């Protein structure tokens, strides 16, 4: 039986970037150089190999996180594609969860853009070690030094400048490697690179001295060697760069131009040299990455093979997955048998007979598996920490276009929900129509496009904001008696409840004493309250920010049951919500806008009209930046309006910030 690849030889990393920074082009060049891709697809002619589905090709943005495996310098590299658009938060979260390291691609002209900031902070939360690739250094106005300074100022990072550019803008031809003192210069093709000694230049000598000094300060081991007077050779310096990168104390910065094929090989070398292997991941609940341990893997994406079979992308944390193995899905407790086990190479798959710890691949043959599920050895169930996803903020009513479609819609919707945890499907209470909810307009558009790809055409209404309700004052000592006598056994429950505004969603406390309400009846009361909170009195929206306390109750020796207490809890809560000063809440977004200075006034005026509050103003690469909080309800169509109001030059990104009080509707 084949052994899985030694975890020390695996590098699983993602490329994170602002839309347009060059993530797709960098990925393409990596796949080309690692021999997987024999044709250099350019993004703009719609032939990029990483962009799988029809939609992505059409849109020219990478929506679906695909994991692609390739080899470099005796290592197995898995490139987890992360989306650049904020609407696809779930994709970003799930990729951060399965990757060990990341390459942040910056546009050499724009530097750190709002989106890069947002993704960077998320990577901080998951403590993902990072490299930075400053791309597009061939462009007029590109400045590697400025981009590096922005890393420090905007992101609070400690950049380790490992390279200097050889030439600027049009004349940018390569990079000087400061550690080895070599110049790498590219000719016409991606593989056409010449390496020679760097010229004797005081600028290079100074930059190297600064780098070494920085490393001596940051890395204790190197510091000790330096104090002991040892010669610090290249392998030692590299080892120090690796240690400080893994510890998250610094970020190596590399330079290039993906479009002109410059800088990709050194970037791949740096991925191998400085980014973590699964052996470097500490504190995993799945235990050490031992191929012979019980299997434990995370399902992080569902997709469909060209033949139509569903495939689940998994990351293996411990043990080995092989075709025919039995695995248990922790959420359902169901044990299933794996069919094929695959490695995925940019749109093609290769059957393998083992994926070991740290490995990422596809498994075929699992039913009823969702993104975020843990798969384990049936005898040793473990639950991996599940992924955090924000709740959807925008909804749209969808209706099947034809009768035939109506029959297929439920299955297609179920598949969407399984694949994307930030998509939910519900029913509009008043009309019984189907409601699809997601993270923003583009997200909903793309999701509906996926239905169309499945051959399911739907008509859509106008997107509407996912409101919530809350309460503004407490109600105490509310008594509700639920009693039914309709022949046969009766139903009886009496509850006394307090309702108070609280933090977060919903908290239920059983404060009864003396056993007047048995524990199972108290719990049933809590379930009833939860049922009632699903639809508030103002508009049937979910009610949040509520604490409910059961203070007393009464039971009947024959007629009391969990069902009766559940009904009593629900009825009591519905009565109390009306008395507790219900209020409507709306999602408020943090919006970051970049515009040329001459449009700033227009943009600010418009934000005011949208009930926006400006949090900060700034300047970036000669443009003005605005950070504001704006209710989502006022942002429907904003992309089009902003383009219109700024002659197409304004851009913006938004992320859900909080729920705030909405004006009366
Ligand atoms: P993504 O949105 O981050 O995936 O960015 P893409 O890879 O799609 O690149 C966005 C645009 O920038 C495309 O038109 C690319 O051809 C272009 N681009 C990418 N890398 C470079 C580069 O190094 N130099 C220049 N001048 N353009 C680049």
Q: What is the DSSP annotation of 337-360?
A: E---EEEEETTEEEE-S-B-TT-E
pLDDT at 50: 39
pTM of the model: 0.70
- Tell me the two tokens of residue 45: 């002619």
d(CA 19, CA 653): 10
DSSP string, 118-163: HHHHHHHHTT--EEEEEE-TTSTT--HHHHHHHHHHHH---EEE-E
Q: Is the CB of 592 under 6 A from ligand 1?
A: no
Instruction: Write the burial class of residue 322 (CB in 10 Å: 0-12 exposed, 13-18 middle, 19+ buried).
Output: middle
3-class state of residue 475 by DSSP: strand
- Tell me the two tokens of residue 396: 């749209």
624 - beta bridge partners? 595, 619
pLDDT at 45: 40
Q: Is the CB of 43 under 6 A from ligand 1?
A: yes
Q: Between the CA of residue 66 and those of 79, 149, 301, 356, 463, what are the distances in Å?
A: 8, 32, 9, 19, 28
Contacts of 28 by beta carbon, 8 Å cutoff, 6+ apart: 37, 40, 41, 42, 43, 48, 49, 50, 258
Tell which one of 22, 50, 79, 144 to mutate to probe ligand 1, the residue whose CB is within 8 A of the most ligand atoms.
22
Structural Rg of the chain based on CA atoms: 28
Q: Do the beta carbons of residue 438 and residue 392 sit within 8 Å?
A: yes
Q: Is the CB of 138 under 6 A from ligand 1?
A: yes
pLDDT at 528: 95
Q: Between the CA of residue 429 and those of 266, 413, 481, 571, 662, what are the distances in Å?
A: 57, 18, 27, 18, 21
Q: Is the CB of 139 under 6 A from ligand 1?
A: yes
Nearest alpha-carbon partner for 391 in 586, 555, 230, 127: 586
pLDDT at 388: 63
Q: Is the CB of 136 under 6 A from ligand 1?
A: yes
- Can you list the residues of the chain whose pLDDT is less than 70? 1, 36-66, 83-92, 114-115, 118, 282-287, 346-347, 383, 385-389, 620-622, 665
pLDDT at 91: 66
- Tell me the two tokens of residue 190: 């991606």
521-555 confidence digits (pLDDT tens): 999 999 999 999 999 999 888 899 999 999 999 99
> What residue owns the CA closest to ligand 1's atom 17?
22
């Amino acid at each position: 039986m084949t052994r899985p690849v030694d975890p020390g030889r695996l590098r699983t990393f993602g490329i994170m970037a602002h839309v347009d920074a060059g993530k797709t082009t960098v990925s393409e060049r990596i796949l080309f150089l690692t021999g997987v891709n024999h044709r250099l697809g350019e993004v703009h002619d719609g032939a990029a190999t990483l962009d799988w589905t029809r939609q992505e090709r059409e849109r020219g943005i990478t929506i679906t996180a695909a994991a692609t495996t390739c080899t470099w310098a005796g290592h197995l590299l898995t490139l987890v594609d992360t989306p650049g658009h904020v609407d696809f938060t779930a994709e970003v979260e799930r990729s951060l969860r399965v990757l060990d390291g990341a390459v942040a691609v910056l546009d050499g002209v724009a530097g750190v853009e709002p989106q890069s900031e947002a993704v960077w902070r998320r990577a901080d939360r998951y403590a993902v070690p990072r490299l930075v690739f400053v791309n597009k250094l061939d462009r007029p106005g590109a400045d590697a030094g400025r981009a590096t300074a922005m890393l420090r100022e905007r992101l609070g990072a400690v950049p380790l400048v490992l390279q200097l550019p050889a030439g600027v803008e049009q004349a940018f031809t390569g990079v000087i490697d400061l550690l080895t003192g070599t110049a790498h210069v590219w000719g016409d093709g991606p593989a056409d690179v010449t390496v020679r000694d760097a010229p004797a230049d005081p600028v290079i000598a100074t930059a190297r001295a600064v780098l070494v000094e920085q490393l001596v300060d940051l890395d204790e081991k190197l510091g000790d060697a330096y104090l002991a007077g040892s010669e610090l050779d290249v392998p030692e310096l590299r080892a120090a760069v690796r240690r400080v990168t893994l510890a998250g104390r610094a970020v190596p910065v590399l330079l290039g131009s993906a479009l002109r094929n410059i800088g990709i090989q050194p970037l791949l070398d740096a991925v191998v040299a400085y980014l973590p292997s699964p052996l470097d991941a500490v504190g995993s609940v799945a235990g050490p990455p031992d191929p012979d341990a019980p299997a434990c893997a995370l399902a992080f994406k569902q997709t469909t093979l060209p033949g139509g079979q569903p495939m689940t992308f998994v990351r293996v944390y411990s043990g080995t997955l092989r075709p025919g193995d039995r695995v248990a899905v922790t959420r359902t407790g169901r044990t299933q048998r794996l069919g094929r086990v695959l490695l995925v190479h940019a749109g093609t798959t290769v059957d393998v007979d083992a994926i070991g710890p740290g490995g990422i691949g596809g498994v075929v043959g699992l039913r009823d598996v969702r993104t975020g599920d843990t798969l384990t050895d049936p005898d040793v169930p473990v639950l991996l920490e599940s992924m955090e996803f924000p709740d959807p903020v925008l909804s749209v009513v969808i209706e099947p276009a034809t009768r035939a479609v109506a029959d297929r819609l439920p299955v297609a919707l179920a598949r969407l929900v399984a694949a994307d945890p930030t998509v939910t499907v519900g029913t509009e209470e008043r009309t019984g129509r189907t409601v699809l909810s997601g993270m923003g307009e583009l997200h909903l558009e793309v999701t509906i496009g996926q239905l169309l790809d499945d051959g399911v055409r739907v008509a859509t209404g106008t997107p509407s904001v996912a409101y919530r309700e809350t309460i503004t004052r407490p109600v105490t000592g509310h008594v509700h008696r639920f009693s039914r006598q309709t022949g046969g056994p009766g139903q009886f429950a009496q509850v006394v409840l307090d309702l108070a505004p609280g933090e977060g969603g919903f908290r239920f406390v059983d404060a009864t004493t003396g056993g007047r309400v048995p524990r199972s009846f108290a719990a049933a009361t809590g379930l009833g309250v939860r049922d009632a909170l699903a639809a508030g009195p103002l508009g049937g929206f979910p009610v949040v920010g509520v604490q409910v306390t059961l203070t007393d109750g009464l039971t009947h020796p024959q007629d009391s049951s969990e069902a009766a207490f559940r009904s009593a809890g629900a009825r009591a809560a519905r009565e109390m919500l009306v008395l507790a000063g219900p209020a409507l809440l709306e999602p408020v977004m943090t919006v970051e806008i970049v515009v040329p200075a001459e449009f700033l006034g227009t943009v600010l005026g418009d934000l005011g009209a949208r009930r926006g509050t400006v949090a900060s103003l700034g300047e970036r690469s000669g443009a003005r930046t605005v950070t504001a909080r704006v209710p989502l309800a006022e942002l429907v169509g904003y992309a089009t309006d902003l383009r219109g109001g700024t002659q197409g030059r304004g851009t913006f990104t938004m992320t859900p910030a909080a729920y705030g009080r909405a004006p009366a509707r």
